[in-house]
Structure 1
Amino acid sequence: MTVQGNALVIGVSGGLGREVFRQLLATGQHKTVIGVSRHIKHKPVADISKFISGAKLVELDYSKEQLVKSFCQELENTGQFTRVICCSGVLHGSSADGVKLHPEKRLEELSADMLSAYFDTNTVIPALWLRYLLPLVQGPLSSDVSFLSARVGSIEDNRLGGWYGYRASKAALNMLIKTAQVEYQRRAKNVTLVCYHPGTVDTALSKPFQNNVKPEKLFTCEFSVSRLLMQLNKVQAEKGPYFIDWDGKEIPW
């Protein structure tokens, strides 16, 4: 099997990020697979990497722009990165600043603090990676950079309403990626940008909402990640960016 470049997984401690890390290592297609998390001391992740050559875990507070910049600069001597997958995101729980988050059902539930927290994690952090990854993915090999988005981030597809902060932050993420692809096609023609909707996956992010999901529509991490990697083998830079689901079906922006 041909080894091509390096891979980077952002948000490796979550359910999907951990599975992305595992499956990328299992392919044997990359010289190194680097997993990044704000809290790397997560036993299942550590167990995956402990005895596998080419696996590396890094604890990094990627909410801090200077740390993302420094980290990417340090990786410039590693060689080209041909696959980057960002799994960072938030739907409910608490932000780093202690703001309680939940999908809003009514306008009266909107607050500036919640909106800021949603955008900080779901939009600003991916935007920082988009900026500082550019020198790492430029090169002679084809590269793809993917971000976990969501169907509810589609403006055209929004028929149910609600979930204001999450929807808006994912829609903004989609716009950032669509805009960045224009510039990438000038400066890094080898790079494809992808927004991926993984479906409803059995992770902590979807736990409070799983009762409303049909059993056949509640996916395992293994299934959703395998479908992502399968779709990434088909993407082409000149046709990017992509906004697709686990079946490879296009989602309207």
Structure 2
Amino acid sequence: MMKAALYPAYIMRTIAKRVFFSTSVAKLEGGVSMVQGASRGIGLEFVRQLLHRRETGHVVATCRNPDSATDLLKLKRDYANRLNILPLDVTNESTIEAAATAIRDAYGYLNLLINASGILSIPNLLQPETTLSKVEKSSLLLTYEVNAIGPILVVKHMWPFLKVGGGAGTDREVAVVANLSARVSSIGDNGLGGWHSYRASKTALNQLTKTISVEFSRKKDPISCILLHPGTVDTDLSKPFQRNVAPEKLFTREFSVQKLLNIIDNTKRSDNGKFFAWDSTEIPWSSILFFSSLIDPANIKCNGI
């Protein structure tokens, strides 16, 4: 056998790449999914269902403080070989870069990226504005940073790992980036006013997502970047505002995520840049045909919202 030293350097690099790729495919049967914002709510439910749906496949779950993510750690005990929990704070780009490095070293690629984190209210810090007089610069900046800037920075740093396409163990020809938005982000749909920070931040997320989807298409990357509206879901985010929501319009996390994963599983290259509601209907970017699902306009009992 010829010694390795006798091979030209470029041949050795090619062999190394092939060995790495073959090893990765064998190791990662079922694909690799990442859920950003996975400590609770919809993000946690995405992790749970991704692990339950198939006997194979790896899930990377990220959140700000993994050590305090009790429910996520329980899943880790049940799926020790398939679940990887990493720290990531969308307001700190260095943590996003660190997570990207860890994913590169452990897996080498991603087939699915779900950005699930978002804020609507924080006790004693952030409340939805029912009138212009309650708008504060700090609230606008914080909401925009978490709901719009953070998810796009995550896509930026994970982009190199998504270019493999659908990958082993999936039924898709493309990798998928799914950013969770909200129907209240529609400018044409805004007939109620109020909720300035939340509406604007989700509208910004829509524009940023649409813009990167155009770039993916121009570069012929095998990635579809979509936006998803989960409906009004019974989570900590919506709990302070559920009083006026009709029972049949308040979804469980299990129901909403099941619907959203069905959309993701059936995403095609032609869906790149589209905005889907939980029931698979496409949401026009600016339409007066749709009403806010967070609060039923027929039951509004306060001024301005």
CA contact (8 A) 1:244 1:251 kept: yes
1:76 deviates by 2.0
1:238 deviates by 2.9
1:158 deviates by 1.4
CA contact (8 A) 2:117 2:147 kept: yes
Matched to 1:85, the amino acid is I
Unaligned runs of 5+ in 2: 1-27, 167-173, 286-305
Is 1:35 the counterpart of 2:61? The answer is yes
Cα distance in 1 for partners of 2:53, 2:29 equals 9
Tell me the alpha carbon deviations over residues 189-223 of structure 1, each in whole angstroms, 9 at most, x when there is no partner: 31111111111100010011111011111100000
Equivalence map 1:1-253=2 (5 Å): 3-28=29-54, 31-40=57-66, 41-52=68-79, 53-77=81-105, 78-93=107-122, 100-141=125-166, 142-187=174-219, 189-253=221-285
CA contact (8 A) 2:30 2:58 kept: no
Tell me the alpha carbon deviations over residues 34-84 of structure 1, each in whole angstroms, 9 at most, x when there is no partner: 100002222111111212131111123332112212321332241321111
SS in 2 for 1:235: coil
- Give TM-score scaled by structure 2 length: 0.77
CA contact (8 A) 2:87 2:95 kept: no
Q: Cα distance 1:134–1:173, how it changes in 2: closer, same or farther (>3 A)?
A: same
CA contact (8 A) 1:200 1:219 kept: yes
Tell me the alpha carbon deviations over residues 126-167 of structure 1, each in whole angstroms, 9 at most, x when there is no partner: 111121111010014321011110000111221211101100
- Matched pairs, number: 248
Cα distance in 1 for partners of 2:136, 2:265 equals 41
**Structure with the larger strand share:** 1
Unaligned runs of 5+ in 1: none
2:6 aligned partner: none
- Give TM-score scaled by structure 1 length: 0.93
Cα distance in 2 for partners of 1:172, 1:30 equals 36
Matched to 2:117, the amino acid is S
CA contact (8 A) 2:165 2:175 kept: no
Moved more, 47-56 or 74-83: 74-83
CA contact (8 A) 1:3 1:28 kept: no
Q: Cα distance 1:166–1:29, how it changes in 2: closer, same or farther (>3 A)?
A: farther
Q: Cα distance 1:135–1:230, how it changes in 2: closer, same or farther (>3 A)?
A: same
CA contact (8 A) 2:226 2:271 kept: no
Cα distance in 1 for partners of 2:165, 2:240 equals 44
SS in 1 for 2:112: strand
SS in 2 for 1:192: strand
Cα distance in 2 for partners of 1:36, 1:108 equals 36
Cα distance in 2 for partners of 1:107, 1:55 equals 44
Q: Cα distance 1:28–1:222, how it changes in 2: closer, same or farther (>3 A)?
A: same
1:188 deviates by 5.0
Q: Cα distance 1:84–1:29, how it changes in 2: closer, same or farther (>3 A)?
A: farther
Cα distance in 2 for partners of 1:160, 1:29 equals 46
Matched to 2:88, the amino acid is L
Q: Cα distance 1:223–1:75, how it changes in 2: closer, same or farther (>3 A)?
A: same
CA contact (8 A) 1:157 1:252 kept: no
Moved more, 19-28 or 184-193: 184-193
Cα distance in 1 for partners of 2:73, 2:228 equals 26
1:117 deviates by 0.8
Q: Cα distance 1:187–1:5, how it changes in 2: closer, same or farther (>3 A)?
A: farther
